[in-house]
């Protein structure tokens, strides 16, 4: 990996910042020793480590090789632009700095299916190795979306399979992993991915969690992939991100927020999110979300009973460096409150009040160990209110908005109902003012972690 790279320009899977390679021993993030120390400290704090596995390609080859290749149409990779001819590609990986430690595998042109640079002619294009075919169990975008970048690994090659499977077992022996994220999973063989998941669980532990980054706005595509993977992993709910983006900017019907989403169809396999590093402003999959809508979206993924939510670092801490337009923490700084509310109150059965186009609500009733419950109401239009049932056991309780965005106190009547208001284009989360943990919701959150 380039010492300044973020990890997607992957060179050597077996080098975690241990060997003097490509001008540095450490990665951009530090040395292997520091990584292992961090992982152990995280484990002791009850924090799981999820490894971002970049298995689609390799970059930064040690030398070039000549081989026969076919130039293909970048808009439709099934279309050949000219007949096969010899090119010179960066496909030779001998890892001299590692010297065969952990793996003796060396990579040559026959371990790859394509490249994007002909060194002999100094030309950039997508070249398929002439004796190869693109994988057919990948996304069908651009005719065939096997090729993404750099030197594209060929998972029909048994040597490649064996080496990467061995790496999956090895990485689990080096770090106390909780799970893995499979980067760019729509760009390489789903059959191999299934084999990889099964192998890691068999050798590292059956509890290892897997999430695949298969980015598609079409929920049918995601469900087909899940089926092909025998439902052995989870997926990021890209269609949900798209709906958040569109409804936040158009004022469309909130009752349709979960239509055609993964959490609406296969909730046990849905990682729900509002934004990530690819959809933030200025990135390749930018999906702008109106600022007023961010807390509504986070309430919908954090406080409901379906999906496994994922908070974007940039929303929690802001993005202050290396960007044209810095971002402050989203949700008016209230995202930590919503996250704490999930831990304290988002339990038990759920009742939806999706009965108005621009104002929806839901109630969580709590359980034996977390009996407080909550009532959430949101509007992407004008101010509104809803009469919602929270349970007779809460009669006479005084409920207030934990976000502090609505000043009213709601008294629960003897039948267990309350009339819960919300201001225009806002969300309010109502909880008994005497509920356990209320005082901890407003504890200071240190967002300026890089200023110390």
**Do 199 and 306 share a domain, yes or no?**
yes
Band of pLDDT at residue 447, cut at 50, 70 and 90: confident
- Whether residue 165 is found in the same domain as residue 308: yes
> What's the confidence (pLDDT) of residue 283?
85
Domain end residue (candidates: 342, 373, 401): 342
Average pLDDT over residues 52-75: 98
Catalytic residue check, 213:
yes
Task: Verify that 69 and 36 share a domain, yes or no.
Answer: no
Mean pLDDT computed over 281-291: 90
Q: What percent of the chain has pLDDT over 90?
A: 91
- Beta strand extents in 324-382 (DSSP E only): 350-356, 359-364, 374-379
Its domain, for residue 104, covers 59-155
* pLDDT for position 325: 78
The arithmetic mean of pLDDT across residues 370-394, rounded, is: 98
Residue 246 is classified by DSSP as H
Q: Are residues 294 and 433 in the same domain?
A: no
C-alpha distances (whole Å) from 206 to each of 167, 200, 203, 407, 427 are 17, 8, 8, 49, 40
Mark whether 237 is an active-site residue.
no
Indicate the pLDDT class of residue 14, thresholds 50, 70 and 90: very high
Categorize the per-residue pLDDT at 322 as very low, low, confident or very high, splitting at 50, 70 and 90: confident
Task: Tell me what pLDDT residue 176 has.
Answer: 97
Q: Is the pLDDT confidence value at 372 over 90? A: yes
Question: Is residue 72 included in any domain, yes or no?
Answer: yes
- Does the pTM exceed 0.85? yes
What domain count does the chain have?
A: 3
Angstrom distance (rounded) from CA 12 to CA 138: 24
Bridge-based pairing state of the strands 57-58 and 151-153:
antiparallel
The pLDDT assigned to 6 comes to 83
The average confidence (pLDDT) of the chain is: 96
Instruction: For residues 364 and 444, give the distance between their C-alpha atoms in angstroms, rounded to a whole number.
Output: 26
One of 213, 237, 315, 397 is an active-site residue; which one?
A: 213
- Give the whole-angstrom CA distance, residue 15 versus residue 397: 58
Q: Which of 155, 170, 199 is the last residue of a domain?
A: 155
pLDDT over 70, % of the chain: 99
Q: What is the mean pLDDT of residues 214-235?
A: 98
The catalytic position among 18, 116, 163, 183 is: 183
> Cα(245)–Cα(74) distance, rounded to whole angstroms?
28
Q: What pLDDT digit, counting tens, does each position of 35-54 carry? A: 999 999 999 999 999 999 99
Region 61-85 average pLDDT: 97
User: CATH no. for residue 121?
Assistant: 2.40.30.140
pLDDT at 1: 60
């Amino acid at each position: 990996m380039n010492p300044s790279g973020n990890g997607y320009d992957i060179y050597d899977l077996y080098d975690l910042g241990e060997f003097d390679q490509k001008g540095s021993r450490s990665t951009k993030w530090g040395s292997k020793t520091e990584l292992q120390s961090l992982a152990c400290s995280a484990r002791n704090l009850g924090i799981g480590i999820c490894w971002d596995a970049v298995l689609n390609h390799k970059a930064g080859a040690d030398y070039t090789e000549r081989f026969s290749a076919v130039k293909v149409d970048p808009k439709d990779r099934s279309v050949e632009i000219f007949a096969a001819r010899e090119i010179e590609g960066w496909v030779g990986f001998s890892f001299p700095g590692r010297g065969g430690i952990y793996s003796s595998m060396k990579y040559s042109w026959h371990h790859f299916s394509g490249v994007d640079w002909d060194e002999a002619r100094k030309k950039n294009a997508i070249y398929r190795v002439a004796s190869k075919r693109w994988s057919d169990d990948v996304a069908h975008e651009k005719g065939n979306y096997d090729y993404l970048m750099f030197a594209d690994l060929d998972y029909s090659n048994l040597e490649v399979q064996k080496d990467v499977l061995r790496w999956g077992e090895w990485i689990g022996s080096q770090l106390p992993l909780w799970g893995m994220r499979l980067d760019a999973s729509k760009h390489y063989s789903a059959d191999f991915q299934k084999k990889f998941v099964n192998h890691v669980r068999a050798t590292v532990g059956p509890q290892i969690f897997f999430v695949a980054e298969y980015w598609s706005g079409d929920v049918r595509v995601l469900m087909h992939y899940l089926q092909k993977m025998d439902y052995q992993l989870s997926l990021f709910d890209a269609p949900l991100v798209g709906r958040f983006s569109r409804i936040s900017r158009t004022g469309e019907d909130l009752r349709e927020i979960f239509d055609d989403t993964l959490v609406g169809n296969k909730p046990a396999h849905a990682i729900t999110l509002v934004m990530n590093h690819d959809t933030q402003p200025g990135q390749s999959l930018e999906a702008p979300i109106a600022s007023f809508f961010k807390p509504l979206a986070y309430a919908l993924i954090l406080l409901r009973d379906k999906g496994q939510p994922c908070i974007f670092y940039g929303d929690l801490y802001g993005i202050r460096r290396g960007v044209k337009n810095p971002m402050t923490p989203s949700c008016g700084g209230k995202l930590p409150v919503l996250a704490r509310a999930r831990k304290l109150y988002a339990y038990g059965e759920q009742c939806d009040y999706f009965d108005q186009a621009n104002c929806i609500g839901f109630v969580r009733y709590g359980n034996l160990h977390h009996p407080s419950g909550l009532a959430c109401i949101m509007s992407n239009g004008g101010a509104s209110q809803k009469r919602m049932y929270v349970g007779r056991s809460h009669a006479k309780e005084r409920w207030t908005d934990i976000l502090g965005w609505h000043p009213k106190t709601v008294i629960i009547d003897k039948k267990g109902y309350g009339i819960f208001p919300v201001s225009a284009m806002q969300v309010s989360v109502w909880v008994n003012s005497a509920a356990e943990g209320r005082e901890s919701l407003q504890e200071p959150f240190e967002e300026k972690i890089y200023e110390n």
